Structure 1
Amino acid sequence: MGDTVRAQVMMSFLASEELAFLIPVDLVYETEDPYAVRFTFCLPGDAPVSWVFGRELLVDGISHPSGEGDVHIAPVCAERLADLHIQLFAGSERAVFRVSAPPLVAFLDRTDRLVPLGHEEAQQDIDAELDRILAGGRMP
């Protein structure tokens, strides 16, 4: 059983150039899956939608454009830590969100205290060993 970091941030869902909705987004990091962060978007009038992001992608996206495929993260202003754009692609559909960087940095800092970036594999080995011990396995 691993530890969990939870947070909620407010993001602007940019529906169009003229229209944006402020929505709550739940962030969850679990040491059982140390490479990933789950975002659950609570869109108005729809069921919550969850996406799994690579934790390293989030860290990289704070300072420079990152991502390929379905997820792109980039700072709005390269000169200072301010806001980020998060773009999600599902087929031909695209959703764009704007979020303040400091709450994400604070969340990522809390995840780094549990499992330092770059030490995820060691965490998975520890979790597997604990699971084996708790299941009644013998030590070699």
Structure 2
Amino acid sequence: MVKKLPLLEELHLYCVDISKEAIEVAGRCCPQLKSFTLNNHDYECPHIGCDEDALAIAKFMPGLRHLQLLGNNITNDGLRVILENYPHLELLDIRHCSDVRYYGSDLARSVSDSYDYYDDDYDNESSGVSDIDSDYDTFYSY
């Protein structure tokens, strides 16, 4: 389908199990992608850290400004690749990515220096984050 949409700027996939090859095809066929969402939150998959999605996104979707990987099995290594390859990223949303353990790591410093972020420990009242968002894990915005 994406092969017929070379001018596509936004692609949002929800509750799907998509291969890294499919991500590569989307990136190659839609070089103008600015926003990509891969929501695996409701998809039943094993919780084993895997960075294939992050590596495919980093390699084949260079123009992204908004990236949401919801419920993905990305790890710290995959997050590091994303941060290194997207210096102009405006939004990075990795809510429910349980294999990312950035607290106490060099990633925490990198993220806090570059992004405003939201997580469960953050004060919702002062951040302007709505109660609807209060059950999510991590949200970064530049």
* TM-score, with length taken from structure 1: 0.24
Structure with the higher fraction of residues in helix conformation: 2
Structure with the higher fraction of residues in strand conformation: 1
* TM-score, with length taken from structure 2: 0.24
Greater Rg by CA: 1
